[in-house]
Structure 1
Amino acid sequence: MNTSLSDFTVTLTLEPHHQAEQFRQHQTSPQKAKQVYLNTLAIYATRFYLECLGYEPDLSASDGLNPVQQMLLGTSALAVKDYGQLECCPVVGGEMEFAIAPELHQDRIGYVAVHIDDSLRTATLLGFVTKAADRVSLSQLQPMETLSGLLTPSLVQQASEGITQLNDWLQDLADDAWQTLDSFVNPATLAFRNQTTESTESIIARSKRISLNEYDIILAVGLLPLSESQTEIQVQVYSGQAQTYLPTQLKLSVLDADNQEVMQAESRATEAIQLKFIGNPGEQFSLKLALGNASVAERFVI
């Protein structure tokens, strides 16, 4: 094994080949059987890499190690405990790109490209992307050593494994964790406003209680449909404790689909933090709360 993080190569021992052969036998199509075999080897190599860096893969929660999910989705996902699933995409021969099936474009924290040599004896982790596309060029990959910037379980107390579908809220459907605003009584909720009509009637809003560094914090998200192609997102954060002021230096960030910060606000002994932006259907973003050395991320798709 090469221990250089920029060119991390894993020896494929009998263990991953034995597991790959077991999964292969569940497939009736020779082409699908070959793909499942390669997927399993790619998962093993990624798992080995993560374990070397101190991360904890969750094999029981990995779709790529579930025969049913393999058959239905053709997935090669490896779950990372407390964070989400990485899709491990095998690359063979002289291929300069790899495909990501449309059904795998969501609910993944990233996509790792793993080159498997012709002898199936070694696998090299080439890099990763955080944004899915039908086909991804190897030239678009971020280096593996920067993956630790995406996976920071030591600092993340809580993170949604999936993505909250905001379109569901418009149909009065929401996960139990996201409650109506009257579930958390606080004057700060009155700040949700339609700036055109100065009313709250067209605002669809939900809130969630979050514990961060022993503080109770309420994250509230309001939706204001502007047209078929644009939705205004209003975000508020306020105290969920008896005291009305937020802890000093609590930071709220909006991250794009590539986990790059595009907006941020910070509490300075204020009652609430507020941000507002406009998004398009299908657009993904995250809301990140950070206080001291702890952070919480919630992922959404419009």
Structure 2
Amino acid sequence: MIRSFTFRVPISLEVHRIAQQLSQAQFTFEKAQKVYHNTLAVHAVDFYLRCMGLDTDFAQSDSHDKIMLAFTDVADLEVKNYGKLECLPVLSDAEVCYVPPDVWSDRIGYIVVHLNESLQQATIIGFAVTVAEKKGILPISELQTIADFPEYISQINLLELPTKNVEKTAVNLSNWLQNIFELDWQGLETLGIKSDGLAPILRDFEDSSMERIKLIDLGVQIRSHSLALLVGLKPEADNKVGIRVQLRPSLGENNLPPNVKLTLLSSSGEKKQEIESRTQDNYIQLKRWKSKPGTRFSLTITLNDLSLTEDFLV
């Protein structure tokens, strides 16, 4: 059912090419078809938002990450300075739109996009702000009209959104394996650290691996000790990624200050590992573990009342 006030978008050959590339990386026909339709919907919403003068960012959208798409059901689009919109395609005369549980949170809204039979035209037919109370089912007849969307998004203030809708940017480790890095995560040689100076347990990661390091500042209490967090990755045969983490002194220091804790937390905040430095320790490290793509975890470094947390996405 197409509503009276809508926004129509022609689907270009270039968008179809992108949809084909993303869908071909999937393992089943059903998932490939789902990704294809999702991609068309995402690009239709992108066109609509740009007509409104809003900037989007595909690089921060899981809908354009082949690894994330293999393990999650997402069709998100990052809107700069606002957050993520979920783009939901519907076909034929659908009366309801199904929203996968993966995207019931961390979204500023849900836009429903009708795709015509030939997949040559998309029609943006309405939006919803939340879906949780509807258990993933959005009746088309209950959508807010797209005419109200510009006013809705203009009122969004990221500082006022619930924490779950303003997700802290996580370090994307899958990008590292493609030689794409965040600016504050540097190569070992950049900080003057030689591979042969690494602890033995990290040296055996060098074959088919990737290591990056980040300087850590916990404040004035340890200013005489410069810390560095080192993360090593290694692809495994079971489609998981091996991960090792080490905290070490850097910039000429020989030892860590005592009582520094390095903690591994799951995405739910559960403590999985923790280690604490002793006097004269020249490094501490967590036991190696493996994670599948799409897994989130955090590393927390703590000294007395000072702490710093880094979030990661495999």
Give the structure with higher Rg (CA). 2
- TM-score (ref. length: structure 1): 0.50
- TM-score (ref. length: structure 2): 0.48
